[in-house]
Amino acid sequence: MTEILEQIKKLVPNYSKISDTAFEGANIILYTKDKGFFLDNGGIIKEVVNTIKKRVELRPDPAITGDMEKSEKIMRELIPEDAKVSDIIFDPQRSRAIIEAEKPGSAIGKQGEILKEIRKQTMWVPLIRRTPALRSKIIENIRAVLYQNSDYRRKFLDKVGHRIYDGPIKSKKEDWVRVTYLGGGRQVGRSCLFLQTPESKVLLDCGVNVAAPDTSMYPILEAPEFKLEELDAVILSHAHIDHSGLIPYLYKMGFRGPTYCTPPTRDVSALLALDYIGVAFKQARKTLFDSSDVKEMVMHTVCIDYEEVTDITPDLRLTFYNAGHIVGSSLCHLHVGNGLHNLVYTGDLKYLKTKLLEPATSNFPRLETLMIEATYGGKENILGSRMKAEDGMIEVINKAIDEKGKVLIPVLGVGRAQEALLIIEDAMMKGRIKEKVPVYVQGLVWDVTAIHTAYPDYLGRTVRQAIFRNDTNPFLSDIFKKVAGKKEQEEVINSPGPCVIVATSGMLTAGASLEYFRHMYDNPKNAVMFLSYQSEGTLGRIVQSGMKNFTYVFDDKPENIDMKISVHNFADLSGHAGRSELMNYLRNVNPKPKKVLVNHGESSRCLDLASSIHKMYRIETDAPKNLETVRLK
Ligand code: ZN
């Protein structure tokens, strides 16, 4: 028996009432066949939790759960109508009933009284999930995959628990922590850090650089120190392809360990991975993985909420904090060993309040090494006022309305897309945009927006409250028109009136935005606006730079482009922290780190930020190159 279970056995006086035990990742589940004990354990479980400082849950043994059909009927009777239950799904292996409702608060009841009554009358553990206000196929599919493979999930999560709790296997001679840059060192794209301790080997992100040639698109997994079969876990900071894009490939190559991320990150990254496959298919390009590998990733994902502390290996404890960058984006805090070392990997961060999100957290219980991004890390990368940029966007749209032109906003699907929708919705409601013209939202952006409505807890205060009140949910505004396929896209292209188009990809490399651009660039009434970083080598970067005449190859056909469309840059609305925000972050981060490692930025920007932080705050800094290893402890 694992030591932690032995410990629990000693703490529970009537342990004979426990019929079975299981791990669900770091959580410990006790099952009982004693109905009375399940309903009232007399505070014993609480005491166990306080003593061992791990999450312990008492559940009814599957042998005593009520008949599913009858139980569902009881649940539907107990939950008030206004909660709008959309589905009840039973997970018999784990004695849980997942109740999907539009208003979770009403389903839970005051102080959870309805849930208590459900437990009493049905002997099931009820879990309430929010039904997205906009229907999301991907959420439905992900939930279906997890429910259908519930038996596999139970075994997998138990295995993860054993890896955490079965104790140190190797003999430790010396304590150390090292991180190797497999991608994202002095570059934007293919972010991938390999963290090693005497007990653990984990990847922090594993992304794809879509703008790079094949040879340098992927992290350098062939580095001699990296062996997939020894990998314990993947930690995913957020759902952008340059951080998440290669994770399905790890599963294709046989990895069966957990990927840790927040729930919105799981849903959005699965969606973007499937889209990535779809786009490549249309371009007759091969991808390294297919949709079955994305499914494997979903099945092996362990979701953790912000500020929920979780052991992930015998010597690593992970906590996610809000990073302010996109929905579900996380600063990853790792506590190594017993107080040996504490590090934060920021992934991408924003240190200002936006329409969509709160600024990144800057307070941590402990911190020695900070690994921070430098997308806008150079001295010259000061972002201007967001308010001015919003005004500028509104002006461009108003001008297009006057001239009956179209406005194209190429977006990454998640992040600036939803920020732009919120800005436009707000301006139209307040009459700052003079006419309620249609805002066409292309398929993928729409799906991602739907995911936002499922996780209001991950959004900024204002929009969260608006969603809770459903009738004021800005994402449900009737100005937004979904564009589902090629035919509808053509109708938008040929439509006469003024409109706004929000479409992927964000750098005009592929997808709908490229198609729209192709039909829009030769008309001076039209406008294109960029809200985010444009990588070197992309069409977005060329257009953004102001070049007027150049040749571009669309579908293998070179086209001589004579740009008439007006080009606007609102990078000040970026989801990344600008130079001043990064420096402010270093000023405010608490406690002060002893070492700062800079990554995720063009070489000069990484070096500039590293040297400025060193000069200003007297902290040891470095901007490692790919394949460099830094010893943190
Ligand atoms: Zn990002």
Distance from the alpha carbon of residue 269 to the mean position of ligand 1, in angstroms: 11
CA 99 to chain centre: 24
Architecture of 2-61 per CATH?
2-Layer Sandwich (3.30)
SS3 (DSSP) at 232: coil
User: Cα of 237 to ligand 1 centre, how many Å?
Assistant: 9
Ranges for all domains in the chain classified under CATH 3.40.50.10890 = 386-573
Could you tell me where in the chain the CATH 3.60.15.10 domains are found?
167-380+576-631
Two tokens, residue 182: 């497999």
The per-residue DSSP string of 232-300 comes to: -EEE---S-HHHHTTHHHHHHTT--S-EEE-HHHHHHHHHHHHHHHHHHHHTT---S--HHHHHHHHHT
Q: Under 8 Å CB-to-CB from 121, ≥6 apart: which residues?
A: 66, 74, 78
User: How far is Cα 186 from Cα 506, in angstroms, rounded to an integer?
Assistant: 22
Report pLDDT for 43.
94
CA distance 63 to 67: 10
Secondary-structure breakdown of the chain: helix, strand, coil percentages, each rounded to the nearest 5: 40, 20, 40
Read off the amino acid at residue 360: A
How many Å apart are CA 394 and CA 570, to the nearest integer?
Answer: 11
Q: Please count the other Cβ atoms lying within 10 Å of the Cβ belonging to residue 106.
A: 17
* Total residue count of the chain as it appears in this document: 633
CA of 419 to the centre of ligand 1 (A): 14
The whole-number pLDDT of residue 259 equals: 98
| CA 504–ligand 1 middle distance (angstroms) | 15
325: CA distance to ligand 1 center in Å? 7
Tokens 């890390």 correspond to 377
Tokens for 436? Answer: 């309620």
Q: For the beta carbon of residue 310, count every other beta carbon within 10 angstroms.
A: 19
The residue type of 310 is: T
In contact, 189 and 216? CB cutoff 8 Å: no
Return left, alpha or beta for 360; rule: phi > 0 is left, psi -120 to 50 is alpha, else beta: beta
Task: Kindly give the distance from the C-alpha atom of residue 467 to the centroid of ligand 1, in angstroms, as a whole number.
Answer: 24
Name the amino acid, one letter, at 37: F
User: What gap in Å lies between CA 584 and CA 113, rounded to an integer?
Assistant: 45
Ligand 1 center from residue 415 Cα (angstroms) = 8
For residue 413, the model assigns a pLDDT of 84
> Distance between CA 90 and CA 94 in Å, rounded?
9
Separation of 348 CA from ligand 1 center, angstroms? 5
Whether 510 and 516 have beta carbons less than 8 Å apart is answered as: no
Q: How many A from CA of 508 to the centre of ligand 1?
A: 17
* Distance of CA 142 from the midpoint of ligand 1 (Å): 22
CATH 3.30.300.180 fits 386-573, yes or no: no
Mean pLDDT of successive 10-residue stretches along the chain, which has 633 residues:
89 93 96 96 94 95 96 97 94 94 93 96 96 87 90 95 81 84 95 96 95 88 96 97 96 98 96 87 84 96 97 96 98 94 98 97 98 96 94 97 96 91 96 96 90 94 86 90 93 94 91 94 96 88 94 90 96 93 98 98 97 97 98 95
Ligand 1 centroid to residue 577 C-alpha, Å: 11
Q: How far is the CA of 315 from the centre of ligand 1 (A)?
A: 28
- Tell whether domain 65-131 is in CATH 1.10.760.10: no
CA of 67 to the centre of ligand 1 (A): 46
Compute, in angstroms, the gap from residue 414 CA to the centroid of ligand 1.
9
CATH 3.30.300.230 in the chain, residues? 2-61
Place of tokens 């901007």: 623
- Distance from residue 191's CA to the centre of ligand 1 (Å): 10
Q: What is the distance in A from the centroid of ligand 1 to the CA of 492?
A: 29
Ligand 1 midpoint to CA 304 (Å): 19
Q: For residue 240, report the distance from its CA to the centre of ligand 1, in Å.
A: 5
Q: How much distance in Å is there from the Cα of 116 to the middle of ligand 1?
A: 41
Let me know: does 511 contact 503? Beta carbons within 8 Å: yes
Beta bridge partners of 56: 28
Strands (E), 69-145: 85-91, 96-101, 125-130
- Residue 323 burial by CB count (10 A; 0-12/13-18/19+): exposed, middle or buried? buried
Architecture of domain 167-380+576-631: 4-Layer Sandwich (3.60)
Q: How far is the CA of 238 from the centre of ligand 1 (A)?
A: 7
